[in-house]
Amino acid sequence: MNQSPFGTSSVDSRVPTLCTIVPPHVLDRLASAEDADIAQAARRTLARDAALRAARRAGVTPALPPAPRSAGTAAAEPRRTVYDAEHRTALPGTRVRGEGEPPLRDATVNRAYAGLGATHDLLCAVYGRDSIDGAGLPLNATVHYDRDYDNAFWNGGQMVFGDGDGRIFLDFTLALDVIAHELAHGLTQYTADLAYQGQSGALNESVSDVFGSLVKQRALGQSAEQADWLVGAGILAPDVSGEGLRSLKAPGTAYDDPALGKDPQPARMADYVRTSSDNGGVHINSGIPNHAFYLFATALGGPAWERAGQVWYDTLTGGELAVDAEFADFSRLTVKTARARFGPGGAEDEALVKAWSTVGLPAEEDD
């Protein structure tokens, strides 16, 4: 087992926390960068995230205006609202675009609006779910949050996107899977509510990476074989040596840059990183279940959101996944779920058992 090089911190996993796309260990490294502008942006982001986490643990989630359905709105249609923080930190900000309203000249607003819609569409059209809570919850996002803010997050009630510092990170709405990733934290919140600590927290992050990838692949019309399986492709500045924040295909290879460091994600349990940083390495060890999903989906081929995605969705929403589930609990339950839907001994069963075995996790209760 590897020991973490990322320092120490701890958090009570039973209280609400802030789910961010950029891990604290990445920002910690950037905060020590020789470039003063990069370091300042990272330190500012870390300070803002710490304040937001404290507010979240205290149960403070900014209230959003209600968005009731109009008389002519079908039950399964989204209710999207995008707000502009205007580079301030008060949430939600100024309302700039609501459901059915035309695009604005602000491309960031339009990307956020489209990303909310693409995520809702996957859940509704593929899995028959009406929004992330299954009951038509309005989907809200705030853009242009703070200045040089190097992150995007789900705070329990809405999504928030920074514009990046322009040197390391660009506008976080540039990656559809980042938008979907953050919304998927809401999906987990309303279903299995996986505790954000250790292996259950890494599963929480992995589920968001998986569904973020599925939203992107479906929007692009890509098969599992055609997809890049990257999370955050497009949000790294041109001079950064990297393809994205994470890779489901090859965890540990998403970036290798003098400022960012090297992607620390493992792909197998043999390389599991034990650390008290980042809530027990939730953004690091998520690479293990991420890779298992990639292996499963590519072994099956075709659209990953269909059979492979259905198994993950069924597992997350089926009511059997404990809030403190560990990787082995999740791996066994996905196999049970796959057999319930597709039958034992078929292609789905064989591919999933092999995927979990490859990353070093059990598929059977007696393993």
Q: What angle do the packed helices 107-121 and 198-220 form, to 10 degrees? A: 100
Cα dist from 8 to 61, 197, 286, whole Å: 26, 13, 18
Burial class (CB in 10 A: 0-12, 13-18, 19+), 34: exposed
Confidence of residue 76 (pLDDT cuts 50, 70, 90): confident
Long-range contacts of 286-289, Cβ-Cβ distance < 8 Å, separation of 24 or more? 286/202, 286/203, 286/205, 286/206, 286/209, 286/246, 287/246, 287/251, 287/252, 288/202, 288/206, 288/251, 288/327, 288/359, 288/360, 288/361, 289/202, 289/203, 289/206, 289/327, 289/330, 289/331, 289/359
Pick from 63-67, 172-176, 237-241, 334-338: least confident:
63-67
DSSP class of residue 198?
Answer: H
Is 283 annotated in the active site? yes
Q: For 252-272, what is each residue's pLDDT tens digit?
A: 999 999 999 999 999 999 999
Cβ proximity of 286 and 209 under 8 Å: yes
CA 27 to each of CA 39, 280, 287, 355: distance values in angstroms, whole numbers, following the listed order: 9, 16, 19, 32
pLDDT of residue 70: 46
Torsions phi, psi for 54 (to 5 deg): -60, -40
Distance CA 316, CA 184 (A): 11
**Distance between CA 305 and CA 349 in Å, rounded?**
16
Q: Pick the catalytic residue from 77, 99, 182, 243.
A: 182
d(CA 105, CA 66): 26
Q: How many residues does the chain have?
A: 367
Residue 7: predicted pLDDT: 31
At position 345, the amino acid (one-letter code) is G
pLDDT for 57 equals 78
Mean pLDDT of 140-151: 98
Judged against a pLDDT cut of 70, whether residue 73 lies above it is answered with no
Residue 367 confidence (pLDDT): 44
Q: CATH homologous superfamily of domain 195-359?
A: Neutral Protease Domain 2 (1.10.390.10)
What's the pLDDT band for 15 if we cut at 50, 70, 90?
A: very low
Q: Where do the structural domains in the chain lie, given as residue ranges?
A: 195-359
Categorize the per-residue pLDDT at 5 as very low, low, confident or very high, splitting at 50, 70 and 90: very low
State the pLDDT at residue 366. 58
Whether the CB-CB separation of 359 and 268 falls below 8 Å is answered with yes
**Mean pLDDT in residue range 274-291:** 95
Q: What is the separation, in whole angstroms, between the first and last Cα of the chain?
A: 21
Coil, strand, or helix at residue 184?
A: helix
When pLDDT is cut at 50, 70 and 90, the band that residue 150 belongs to is very high
User: Does residue 182 have an active-site annotation?
Assistant: yes
Here the tokens at position 110 are 């339009």
pLDDT tens for 44-56 read: 999 999 999 888 7
Packed helices 347-359 and 327-342: angle between N→C axes, nearest 10 degrees: 170
Q: Which residue has the higher pLDDT, 251 or 64?
A: 251
Q: How far is CA 250 from CA 29, 76, 175, in A?
A: 22, 36, 19
* Number of other CB atoms surrounding residue 155 within 10 Å: 24
**Choice among 144, 185, 283, 291 that is catalytic:** 283
Which pLDDT does position 78 carry in this prediction?
94
Write down the pLDDT at residue 55. Answer: 85
